[in-house]
Amino acid sequence: MSGPLTGLHVVEIATGISGPYAAKLFVDLGAEVIKIEPPEGDPLRRWGPFPGGAAGEQGGLFEYLNAGKRGATLDLTAPDGQEAARELLAGAHVLIENLAPGMLRASGLTASNLLQVSISPFGQTGPWRDRAATPLTMQAVSGWISARDPQRPPVQAGARISEYVAGAYAALGALTALRLDDSGRVVDVSEFESLLSTLPYPMLMSERMRSLGLPPNVRSAPMLGVVRAADGWVGINCLTGQHWLDVCAMLGLPEYGEHQIAIMLGGPERAEFFAAAEPLLVERTVADTVELCQAMRIPAAPVNDGATVLDCPQYAKRGFFIESGGFRRPGAPFRMSKTPAAQPRPAPRPGDRDRWSGRAESWSPATGSMPFAGLRVLDLSTFWAGAYLTCYLGAFGADIVKVESIQRPDGHRYSGAYPFEGEDWYERSALWQATNLNKKDLTLDLTSERGRDIARRLAADADVVVENFSPRVVEQFGLDYESLLAIKPDVIAVRMPGFGLEGPWRDYVGWALNIEQTSGMTAATGYPDGPPCNLQGPADPVVGVHAAVALLAALEHRRRTGEGQLIEIAQIEVAACVTAEPVIEYSMNGIVRPRSGNRMSGYLQGVYPTVDEDVWVALSLPDEGTLDHDTFDELVAGWTRTQSATAVVEGLRVQGIPAEQLATGDRMYDFAQLDARRFYEEFTHPVTGPRRYPGWPFRITPGPARHHRSGAPTLGRHNDEILRSLGLSDDDLAALRERRVIGERVLGG
């Protein structure tokens, strides 16, 4: 069965992870990709892991990222190599590259007939364009490195997870630009902005805390977080006050139920609680703890590593990990009912000189100047992952109707908002506002027949329906895919459950931390002699970006065939796709490597203190094998702790050494690079006034001039407008309000 992008030709001139991962997503969707490599090959070939640990020419991570691609080994510094590359580009729709800014143009390989997707650390423009960077320093400047152990330096996200993020955004930017035209456009992707875009809006939260007279960068620890069980690590994640009360009851410690905030913020209360709780937690196995918590609807999950993730019952039942290249690796990050991903061929071999094999399809641009103009989307999502997808669609022209209820508004409204702020406190969340720009808001009580009837009428007029609840929620409302199909035969339904629509864990409750823990993200992050560490955030938007990639491919399939389909985005599967290396290594060699802290093969690097309290710097040098890493850390830390962060960073940059101060939320509005690239846009909310919101981490040129179209709505702001468009009268609206099917204030609020 053909993929939704069959006939699309993509050339990749990229190394490492970001560019190859973007091209991999195109392969998953049926496009034909030719990877151009220099005679010495992509350096990732030599990264590993290798069978038996012996270095070779085709490591497991390279095979995973490049499976299904064709190869062309060309010397782009030589005339014949350049000519061969131009022939390939002449037959392509898309070029994906992550060379240094300006290098592609200098090589004479730009082409006006195709879409050029350029990935670089800071983007192709701005004062930081040519700043030296490594994966560690990119995490540092974008806020991904954070304090997780008060006795140790802040620590990076492990398993090279951050390097996949820009690749996913690049694929999204490319598919968005293709809806405008496939020639003469450039998608300029910034890795820096990509990483910023996957954080839970620390710049907004710092501004919010300051306005409330609180410390701007305070970070409370998620409770209980990662704790020991009898046979491993388990994540117990209290999202609400009720979760906390239930955990205390489960442990037989009800006396701590009233002290959640004090325990989250640390201090003696935290130490006292864990001294009482830890002996109780280690009495149960991971599986027993997860089962008990989930029975009480407490979000809990195993902290899987490269070995245990392969035995996880949910992944196993769904057949997610596939055999390829002699080892097991993640499958595709999305499941599409009409256009499933095929089993990929092996990755290209060194010395290949492939040519296009399939027929290039013509690519018809969308009507209008916005890529999603005329697209109608019914948004049934909650919290972040689904809302991130619909916020993106609305930004570039789609008509988004977001459904909440006055009985149970979107729970994300309560994130970073506090009842002491007044009756309208649920309108004050900066996090909710940032993910719900560009939308119209409708309240409907879906437990009522009248509310469900209106929802079905909206679905009958929608091109796309999006939801990210546990599967049973929309199923009990009669809004699952099979029900939608009876209403709208060509509908595209995007369902984004945490654990998938099938499998023994389908009805488990979960949020970002569960996803990070189950997938292996958490186990890969931290120090070798310390516990696994939560990443605290990126899973939701990363899932949203992958969902958008799949949706845009499905829209292209519908344009060609008239068919809609079901897109299933199991969040634990997306997270596993960007945490592939530990699984590959265990499958290949039976090894679970220790967590690496802030180290990475090929570098002498780390995060070091400065003379300023709680201000840290990250720096990286090539590891030439002449200095022991522990000695390096000791020498560097001894120097940096006598210097200001500014002195360290500026002094090293003059020497061409990548170095960055660890970013905190209160600094993120002050970066000259973001101002130059107009990353933030200001909107005024009727309750909270003006705020500056992050945009998207790429620019399409020529293309839309702005990142967003409108500010976030208040609850039920568009009730009358939307319902009148369905033909309801003033009397109908009054009756719906009287019966509390609709409303503009939280019931009881």
Contact in structure between 567 and 494 (CB atoms under 8 Å): yes
Single out the catalytic residue among 305, 399, 540, 633.
Answer: 540
Nearest partner of 430 among 680, 238, 225, judged by Cα? 680
Cα-to-chain-centroid distance, residue 729: 42
Secondary structure of 286-300 in the HEC alphabet?
Answer: HHHHHHHHHHCCCCE
- Phi-psi region at 3: left, alpha or beta (left = phi > 0; alpha = psi -120 to 50): beta
CA angle at residue 223 from 221 to 228, to 5 degrees?
Answer: 105
Contact in structure between 545 and 574 (CB atoms under 8 Å): no
State both tokens at 544.
């949203």
Using only C-alpha atoms, the chain has a radius of gyration, in whole angstroms, of 25
Please count the CA atoms within 13 angstroms of the CA of 546 that sit on its side-chain side.
Answer: 32
Taking the C-alpha atoms of residue 405 and residue 443, their distance in angstroms, rounded to an integer, is: 4
- For β-strands 698-701 and 186-190, DSSP reports them as antiparallel
Nearest partner of 290 among 240, 245, 247, judged by Cα? 247
CA dist 214 to 97, 206, 210, 420, 520, Å? 44, 9, 5, 14, 34
Please count the CA atoms within 13 angstroms of the CA of 497 that sit on its side-chain side.
Answer: 21
H helix or E strand, kind and range, residue 366? none
Contacts of 423 (CB under 8 A, 6+ apart): 745, 749
445 catalytic per annotation: no
By annotation, the residues acting in catalysis are 540
